Amino acid sequence: MKVVILEDRYANHDPEKAIFSRLGFEVVEAGGVTGRDGILKLCRDADGITVNLAPLTADIIAGLEKCRVIARYGVGYDSVDAAACTRQGIRLVNVPDYCLEDVSDQAMALLLGCVRKTSLRDRQVRAGMWDISRKDPVYRIQGKTLGLAGYGNIARTLHRKLKGFDLARVLVFDPFVPAAAIREAGAEPVDFDTLCGESDFISCHVPLNAATRHIFNARAFSRMKPTAIFINTSRGGLVDTAALHAALRDRTINSAGLDVHEQEPVPRDYLLFQLDNVILSDHAGWYSEESQVELQTKAAQAVADVLQGRTPRNVVNRDVLTR
């Protein structure tokens, strides 16, 4: 069996190689190879592939002659054409449960940073300013309403962590989670407009697809409170950046904390660099030393499971007719 570890983003691939070597698999590390021709040169005869950022498009997948499984490092899998995998009889697997603590920590850190304006205050104090708060009010978290767009594992973990802040209400928009389950968790199921209109804090945990792209657009921001804080640790494409920029610039909403962006890495002339009421991070919410090892181990184990004839824990395209 040949397994290709596509890309070279991590410090090493010891966790994957430990699993594959025990099984006698040939392991090829791509070392940063990108582009259709480069990827196919390495992967055409691969039985399994692990991939992070390289887009695996339909034409690349069509050229995979032996592949039985592609494991995407991470929760999202929008960089891999799932339909093409299904047509080719390839299992597409992801790792949806490796960074629940880490991304929810990042969402909470961005929220607290926006609430208390810590990044802005740091810059202002360094510039010689003092007694700033009267000109730029801060409001407490207690008694406010949290809105969760999406109620998957990360959103539920964030909800658990924020319960100690004595919120008045937690609203959830997620048409794929039964209303009874949301109520049982201590939240209120609502539609999207209600979430936008009644939340003081909105944290986005929606998967990116054709239906959700730019779900947070000018209309959504116009419905929010002028004191609202918007947090996104999911996918940048869920947000219309120009609309968010306008909402922040015009104080339609109070502030935003973003770990993810429509274009990554962000451009040097990024619109949001112009604003003081936004905290930016580099799509690092997933990261901790512990989550890194967990991610690599679980992705490799999923590949090993398929190549040994077992069904892995997390299959994106369950209707696939495998090779």
DSSP structure string for 53-85: SS-B-HHHHHT-SS--EEEESSS--TTB-HHHH
| DSSP for 244-310, written as a single string | HHHHHHTTSSSEEEES--SSSSPPTT-GGGG-SSEEE--S-TT--HHHHHHHHHHHHHHHHHHHTTP
φ/ψ of residue 233, rounded to 5: -120, 20
Of 205, 235, 245, 261, the active-site residue reads 235
Residue for token pair 């603590």: 101
Strand partners, 70: 49, 92
Of residues 156, 205, 261, 283, which has the active-site annotation?
Answer: 283
Q: How far apart are CA 13 and CA 296, in angstroms?
A: 8
Helix (H, G, I), strand (E, B) or coil at 202: strand
Closest to 171 measured CA to CA, from 192, 150, 188: 188
User: Distance between CA 291 and CA 197 in Å, rounded?
Assistant: 35
Q: Which of 26, 65, 264, 290 is catalytic?
A: 264
Q: Residues 229, 202: contact at Cβ < 8 Å?
A: yes
Integer Cα distance of 261 and 267 in angstroms: 10
Q: Give buried/exposed letters for 11-39 (b at 16+ CB in 10 A, else e).
A: eebebbbebbeeeebebbbbeebeeeeeb
- 264 is annotated as an active-site residue: yes
Catalytic residues: 235, 264, 283
